[in-house]
Amino acid sequence: MRLPSLWTIARLLVLSFLVGLVLAWLGLTPGQMVARVLDFGRAIWMTVVGLIDQPADIVRLILLGAVVVVPLWLLGAVWQALRRRR
């Protein structure tokens, strides 16, 4: 594995600093962020487990997600086709 260049490390440091500023401005700490991610994961898990008894909700969620996923996939496919033509 190749080590990142100094330019990449510098960009990561600057980006980390900027994100840290925003998070500090929002009053978030690393512990709070971990707790929020865990709470979010727990909420998703409970939603998935709850859907096992309700197949109609599974279809509804698939259609809801397809509204975003299918157009993005289509744009990506068109983009790839245009890049291949060059």
pLDDT digits (tens, 9 = 90+) for 41-84: 999 888 888 777 777 777 888 899 999 999 999 999 999 999 88
**In terms of Cα–Cα distance, which of 83, 82, 47 is closest to 65?**
47
pLDDT value, residue 8? 92
Average pLDDT over residues 13-40: 93
Task: Kindly report whether the global pTM for this prediction surpasses the value 0.75.
Answer: no
| Cβ-proximal residues to 61 (8 Å cutoff; 6+ apart), any chain | 51
